Homo-oligomer: A and B are copies of this chain.
C-alpha cells in the first residue's frame, strides 16, 4: 500500500484520532496546523511532528491535506493557503464536497461516523467511514486509505452524508444530552450518576439487535398520566428539564401512535 505524507488542518477530536490512526498504519504526518497553539502543539507532540498556527506556513510538500475544522471557519482558513492541486479532503458530515473545489483540482471527503473525545481511545476498525471524491482516481485513493483503517467503508454523496449527520446528531449528541440531564437531576438530589450506567449500557445494547421502536419502555409509551404528571410536578424547580421532559414524552407517545 502506498504511504502518503499528510498535513492536518485542525487539531481537534477528529484530527487527533484520525492522524494517530494514519500514522499507526505507516503514513507520515508532516505537519499539524491549528488556530490554537495549545491544540497544535499537543497534537504535534503526540505525533512527534511539526506544527504551525500560521496559514501562511502550511507546508507545501504534503500529498494529502486533511481538513478537520469546525465548518464555520473552513473557508477562512483555506482561502489563505496554497494547495498546488494536491488532494484536499474534509471530514465534515454537513459540508458538501464542492466547498473545496475553489482551492484545488483534487478534493474529496473522508467522514468517520463516530463520536471522538481526545481522552478516549477508539477502535477504528469498527467505525463506518464514508468517502466521496471529485474523480474516480481520488475516490479510489480515499477508499484504499479508509479500508486500511476500517472494516466498514462506503461511498456516499454529500446529500446522503448530510442526512446521516442529522441522524447522528439525534443518536449521539442528543442521546448524550439525555445522559447529561439525568446526571444533572441526580446531582441535584445527591444521588450518584454511577447507578445509571448499567441502564445506559443496556439501552444501547438493546438497539444493537432490536429496532428502537420495539425497544421502547417507560411511562411515555403507555402515556401513563399519573407518572408523567408526578414527574412534571417534581421537575418544576428545573424548568429546562421540565420542558424537555414534556416535549420528549409527547413525541414518544405520538410516535408510538403512528401506523407501524
* A interface residues (Cβ-Cβ under 8 A, vs B): 13, 70-72, 94, 113-117, 119-120, 122, 126-128, 152, 154, 160, 162-186, 189, 191, 193, 195-222, 224-227, 230-231, 234-235, 240-241, 243-245, 247-248, 251-252, 254-255
Contact at A163–B186, with CB atoms within 8 Å? Answer: yes
Report A100 CB to chain B, min CB distance, Å: 16
- Chain B residues lying within 8 Å of A163, measured Cβ to Cβ, are 185-186, 189, 191, 234
Among B71, B162, B171, B230, the residue within 8 A (CB) of A224 is: B71
Contact at A177–B117, with CB atoms within 8 Å? Answer: no
Contact at B182–A216, with CB atoms within 8 Å? Answer: no
- Chain B residues lying within 8 Å of A219, measured Cβ to Cβ, are 94, 169, 173
Contact at A162–B234, with CB atoms within 8 Å? Answer: yes
CA distance A234 to B173 in the complex (A): 18
- Chain B residues lying within 8 Å of A220, measured Cβ to Cβ, are 169, 173, 177
